[in-house]
Amino acid sequence: MPPPSDIVKVAIEWPGAFPRLMEIDQKKPLSSIIKEVCDGWSISTHENYALQHADGSGFYITEKNRNEIKNGAILRLTSSPAQNAQQLHERIQSSSMDAKLEALKDLAKFSRDVTFAQEFINLDGISLLTQMVESGTERYQKLQKIMKPCFGDMLSFTLTAFVELMDHGIVSWDTFSVAFIKKIASYVNKSAMDVSILQRSLAILESMVLNSHDLYLKVAQEITIGQLIPHLQGTDKEIQTYTIAVINALFLKAPDDKRQRYIANNIDILDFPLSEMANILAQKQLRSIILTHVIRAHGPINNEMAHQLYVWQVLTFNLLEDRMMTKMDPQDQAQRDIIFELRRIAFDVEPEQNNIGGSIEKRKSMYTRDYKKLGFTNNVNPALDFTHTPPGMLALDNMLYFAKHHQDAYIRIVLENSSREDKHECPFGRSSIELTKMLCEILKVGELPSETCNDFHPMFFTHDRSFEEFFCICIQLLNKTWKEMRATSEDFNKVMQVVKEQIMRALTNKPSSLDQFKCRLQNLSYTEILKIRQSERMNQEDFQSRPILELKDKIQPEIIELIKQQRLNRLVEGTCFRKLNSRRRQDKFWYCRLSPNHKVLHYGDLEESPQGEVPHDSLQDKLPVADIKAIVTGKDCPHMKEKGALKQNKEVLELAFSIMYDSNCQLNFIAPDKHEYCIWTDGLNALLGKDMISDLTRNDMDTLLSMELKLRLLDLENIQIPDAPPPIPKEPSNYDFVYDCN
């Protein structure tokens, strides 16, 4: 007879004694269980003790997390969180450098546990650590020369403990002094600083900026781009990642007016404060340094760096939002002069010709004729074409940039179309407006960056005006496609759809430069797009006849079983999941994998992202598949309901799923990407005997089914398969033709 579900069999360790095997009744109060354990070793003061996991995380066991204890777990009887916090609080104030260093090392380890963290914070531990950071360096300044390694380790453990304690969200970031901020900033500003200290300092500055507007203002006064550039030029990937994260955080929190104020000014970037982020991002130096030392550096780009580059890209393009949402004022002479400039460059009209000679009516007629050739919808007053948002004034900015920086191509396009028949001309003005709107949609201009996305494009880091250059390439593509399609004005929307498909297919390969992107578009001509569409359509149409559908139904179960086995094999390999929260996005990992016999899920926390598979025996926690009650996804997940910041993020919601087991217990996941989300939800549903309904399964089913059908039909190539089976012939009049071999 199996034991009751409320009884858990564990081993409990105590220093200097043999471990005890014990059955824990989960219905009993935890204090009673601790007293029973203490009585077994004749320990009288049981209130000063607690249980913690002996392997893996080493976290304290509380009433909230006691349901996570599994059969076979190894626990340790140790001092209570309150007593441990009190002891460490005293030890880190020791006059002995060695004792102080050992205490800070223990504090950095224990601070990961929220139970201990709460007790240490109650003792005003955060204030003690900040005082040590503010004054400790001066106190031990004379000892640095003779005890530099010891001092560096001490400061590193102090900052690590501070970061871990703050990460629990118990204490507000608004409580820190300017002196503390200056001290942390000084560690970042120093040219030669221990890597671990620099990492923690950058992480603290990022969290300060993201969590407090007042701290953002103070941090922005202390950090300049000149002090951060050396960190980007180094070879340490982690330092580079943290540095870009700080830049992104400061830019994200900068007021709108400061983002836009200096975007066109040519000010020395090295001495400029990061509070004026638009100026920094507009400069060539920072972009080129990221391109040279990060994107084109040796070695692959990890997921965290890819995410920070994606954020940098999104925030850079979001600078265009103001122009994108600004309508043109038809009465604004400065804005009207831009249209005059477009006309002047296209038709080589001298400025004074606009104001001399001929009557007003004659000049209006000349303007109307030229504006028609430029492809504006409103020939009389082209300013009205730019009163819709998006793209607003951004479209006019792009047109002017194209006319000035690619003048030959601009003149050729305008003159080519002005010499065609009216119905066959590609209207440059209308095309530019619609294309700008399309590019803003593709690049999601104006949207905040996702917390989980890492989809950056290297080519946008190769030019200071990458969006404008992107537009210039695409407007020439549009004109080329228009000619290839022999389009008329009625085909305008069809041409735009083809152009969008060309751009999206070219971006899929993530070209490393704008020139590569242009070459890729050259290969994606309208004829090639037609071939791709025809191939995709034929793959669908060829398999709609009745015999093929019957064959498809016959082999579909085999394909489903194949997909199921692939999903389960991937679960056996396991996946590293990131622990997300609303404060910061690094250093928290855990791993989960299915046992080879498909009966148990093994999982546990990791110190860092693994390079390969994590062995089962290193994952301390287990969940029997038989105990799983249900799989929930998206907003139905408990951790999505609890975390308000994540709840609002659509991308995170789409990657969240939870395993529900026992009574009110769950194992919460946030997948690294959509592919892993589909793999795990499919695999878990397969374990529970449910249908696999993800988008990935549908795509795999279509692909594998199509391949299998083609393989089976190879012998019937060029033979038309009838829709109905051939009629059965009549029986022969006699069977004299049968030959008896005997």
Sign of the torsion formed by the C-alpha atoms of 264, 270, 274 and 280: positive
Beta bridge partners of residue 79, listed in sequence order: 49
Of 112-121, 321-330, 672-681, 731-740, the range with the lowest mean pLDDT is 731-740
DSSP letter for 225, please.
Answer: H
Q: What number of CA atoms fall less than 13 Å from residue 666's CA on the CB side?
A: 17
Q: Lowest mean pLDDT: which of 116-125, 374-383, 527-536?
A: 527-536
Which of 469, 445, 431, 449 lies closest to 322 in space, CA to CA? 445
**Per-residue model confidence (pLDDT) at position 269:** 46
Contact 681, 563 (CB under 8 A): no
Strand-pair partners of 602:
593, 622
Local confidence band at 607 (pLDDT 50, 70, 90 cut-offs): confident
Question: What is the C-alpha separation between 120 and 344, in angstroms, rounded?
Answer: 72
Burial of 351: CB neighbours in 10 Å, binned 0-12, 13-18, 19+? exposed
Look at strands 74-79 and 7-13 and give their pairing.
parallel
Is the pLDDT at 34 greater than 80? The verdict is yes
What was the pLDDT predicted at 601?
A: 94
pLDDT mean over 282-291: 78
**Whether residue 391 has a cis bond before it, omega within 30° of 0:** yes
Residues 565-583, mean pLDDT to the nearest whole number? 84
386-404 pLDDT per residue, tens: 999 999 999 999 999 999 9
Give dist(CA 742, CA 735) in Å, integer.
17
Q: pLDDT tens digits for 315-356? A: 999 999 999 999 999 889 999 999 999 999 998 765 545 454
pLDDT band at residue 647 using 50, 70 and 90 as cut-offs: very low
Per-residue pLDDT band at 593 (split at 50, 70, 90)? very high
Higher pLDDT pick, 389 / 649: 389
SS3 668: strand
Instruction: Indicate the residue type of 514.
Output: L
Instruction: Evaluate if residue 72 carries a pLDDT over 90.
Output: no
272 has pLDDT over 60? no
Q: What structural domains does the chain harbor?
A: 7-79 (3.10.20.90), 83-302 (1.25.10.10), 323-350+360-537 (no CATH), 555-699 (2.30.29.30)
Q: Which of 26, 53, 21, 61 is nearest to 37 (CA)?
A: 21
Residue 574 burial class via C-beta count within 10 angstroms: exposed 0-12, middle 13-18, buried 19 and up? buried
Cβ–Cβ under 8 Å, residues 205 and 231: no
CA-based torsion, 100, 104, 110, 114: positive or negative? positive
Report yes or no: 474 and 439 within 8 Å, Cβ to Cβ: yes
DSSP 298: S
Task: State the distance between the two ends of the chain, measured CA to CA, in whole angstroms.
Answer: 67
Q: Whole-angstrom Cα distance, residue 541 to residue 535?
A: 10
* CA gap 334, 313 in Å, rounded: 30
Collapsing DSSP to helix, strand or coil, 578 comes out as: strand
Report the range out of 48-57, 385-394, 615-624 with the highest average pLDDT: 385-394
Checking if the pLDDT of 631 tops 50, the result is yes
Is the confidence at residue 277, as pLDDT, over 80? no
pLDDT in tens, 124-182: 999 999 999 987 555 544 444 444 556 678 899 999 999 999 999 899 998 898 999 99
| Percentage of the chain modeled with pLDDT above 90 | 56
What kind and span of H or E run contains 666?
strand 665-670
Q: Are 92 and 103 in contact (CB under 8 A)?
A: yes
